[in-house]
Structure 1
Amino acid sequence: MYLTFTSPASDIQSIQIGGSTFADADNFDKQTIHVSDNWGSYNAEQFWIEGACVCYSTYRITEECNTLLQCKNYNWLLNFILEGELSIISSDKQTNLLTEGNYYSFHCSLDEKLIKIKQSTKLLTICLTNNFMDKLINKDVLASKLHNMYAPLTTIATGSYLHSRMQPILADMMDQTKPIYIRRILIEAKILEILSIQLHQSEQQKVVEAFSREDINRLEEAKQIISSNLQNPCSLMELARRTGLNDFKLKKGFKSLFGTTVFGYVTNLRMESAYHQLQNGRNVGEVAEMVGYKNAHHFTVAFKRKFGFLPSQVK
């Protein structure tokens, strides 16, 4: 995969994302890239494993910069916009605006895509080869997802990663404190976890289409309200009143859009928060109260049901 930088006042510069030959199953390769010119600068850290590349990119822009993206080996791009925004324009003139706090996963043909960057932007991109995907999923299933394997750009999944299962996964992937051999295992595991989440969400999309854009916005609002009030979560009736949804749409829509019930989502958030607090050395009683359990025993039962071991065993 190649990026070619162009700007009216600058020279053309081209860089390669991922190796022309991939790291084998026993290796984990890393490369740092720096490009600068009148338009600003581009810095990236790449991590290669067999059939996959994780690229953490930072654009610092002083004037609009255009980048040509050419996919030769990597055809699956999972993009997470950490800061700013950019636009991708494919050869059929389809324009996709990628904005902060959201993820966009595409299948790309060999055609060039124009990326327009007008402001400073940070993103994490997971690049996967067709061979990597073929090892995981039957080709017929993939073909049914894509409809047209040769389309310049096909959207596989999109949405907000904030306050979702993907947000701590991204934090783990960008954590540089672990030894390199552990990081290699972690990155490959997290790629598979993100793929499973996004493919599940694409399965739910047909159901979601039955709801209006206004309903979906209100369901997203419900999710934000829940994540902001873990100690004292709203009742279903209160959540419906605050979002303007009736009880049926709230329960059915939440399950369809997010793949879990309102109660299940509250429990998952509580348990994930509790796990991290326990890792940081807090005691069980303190953590139970922090995540909204008045009774430490009830918290212990819920925690063991979720993770399969007692909270006191986390350390």
Structure 2
Amino acid sequence: MAALQRISQSYRVASTHSRLVSTEACGWMRQQLPEELGECYSERLTFDDDLLVVRSRYRPTRNLIEETISPHNRHMLVITFGMQGNSGYKGTDGSAVSFRAGFTTITSFQLSLGERCYEAGATVCQLRLLIGESLLNKYIGEQRARQLLGNGNVRQLAFQKTSAAGASHASALTHQLNQGVTGTLEMHIHTLSLLSEQLKLLSPDTRPENLQFSATDIEKLDRARDIMIEQMDQPLTVTYLCAAVGLNEFKLKEGLHYRFNSTPYRMLHEIRMRKAFTLLESGCQVAQAAYQVGYKFPNNFSVAFTRFFGKPPKSVFGKRR
């Protein structure tokens, strides 16, 4: 009876209800409900037509039911990371999806009509990745993409506790937004790392008996090495490299061993150390060299450099050949 009373007292927001729309300097597009309803907004960043990040924060002053209509009208996979609080979605087709803090929910749909429910005074923060069909085809193949996307109705594909790595990437994306970060490269890395982890869970790799590398695979492996060189100052991960070049983790690791007799970690570490040596030789200070090759803390860099070369970075600083 109490639950029915709360629903009857809820304030309903139609999809046509006026929302304040603005574009932030860092490229995020913000939609906000009127202030009298509380702090209720969502922000969207578009990397391309098939990859979007949406961050939402709702703290309504009253029980709130918000009507939602998908603006995409195409097959989408949605990965939702619950950052704080709980909320629910009810579809007109009878579907129901729950979102909880500390859990990752994966759904798929083509056209979703329904409503989201929020409790008065409770804060709900969520981070969503929206992935289109063509990007899924690229990463997991057309057959598996069709299986996940289904017939277009809202489907819940997974609901599991967010991993430590996933929580770290999601928190980093949220932190960058709070800091008003203008560059999107690091955001893209965190986003693809999140995506790759979840796609791996949905479509686990199978180890082939005889692994072959095509000319296209070789190009992708070379591209992975180039990304390490070009972005060595960024927090690169294996999952990001896999997503960036379009190889699964097993094939990337085996391919780097096949082509370069190395592993992703060892290759990146060697690229960073040799670049750091060149920077120090040219007169770059230790802290500056550390930052340029991806180390936030100079002490950690000094330890790694000394282990790699057998001598500390200060012994190289300012030397000429």
TM-score normalised by L of structure 1:
0.54
- CA distance in 2 between counterparts of 1:9 and 1:68 reads 11
- CA distance in 2 between counterparts of 1:279 and 1:140 reads 42
Shift of residue 58, structure 1, vs aligned partner? 0.8
1:91 equivalenced with 2:89 (yes/no):
no
User: 1:106 — aligned with what?
Assistant: 107
Alignment of 1:1-315 (within 5 A): 8-9=10-11, 12=14, 13=17, 29-36=27-34, 38-51=36-49, 52-73=51-72, 75-118=76-119, 119-146=122-149, 148-155=150-157, 157-162=158-163, 164-174=164-174, 175-176=176-177, 177=179, 180=182, 182-183=183-184, 185-203=185-203, 279-283=296-300
Shift of residue 38, structure 1, vs aligned partner? 4.9
Deviation per CA, 1:78-97: give whole Å up to 9, x if none: 11111101011223323222
TM-score normalised by L of structure 2:
0.53
Q: What letter is aligned with 1:45?
A: E
In structure 2, the gaps of 5 or more residues are 1-7, 205-289, 315-321
Sequence identity (%): 13
Alpha carbons 1:108, 1:154 under 8 Å: kept: no
Alpha carbons 1:44, 1:56 under 8 Å: kept: yes
- CA distance in 1 between counterparts of 2:162 and 2:11 reads 36
Q: What letter is aligned with 1:32?
A: R
Deviation per CA, 1:51-87: give whole Å up to 9, x if none: 2221221101222111222223262221111110101
Shift of residue 141, structure 1, vs aligned partner? 1.7
Aligned length: 211
- CA distance in 2 between counterparts of 1:38 and 1:131 reads 40
Alpha carbons 1:18, 1:48 under 8 Å: kept: no
User: Which consecutive aligned stretches of 4+ in structure 1 deviate over 6 angstroms post-superposition?
Assistant: 16-19, 310-313
Alpha carbons 1:34, 1:44 under 8 Å: kept: yes
Specify whether residues 43 and 18 from structure 1 end up closer, same or farther in structure 2 by C-alpha distance, changes over 3 A only.
Answer: closer
Q: What is the DSSP-based 3-state SS (H/G/I as helix, E as strand, rest coil) of the residue aligned with 1:126?
A: strand
User: 1:234 — aligned with what?
Assistant: none
- CA distance in 1 between counterparts of 2:151 and 2:21 reads 22
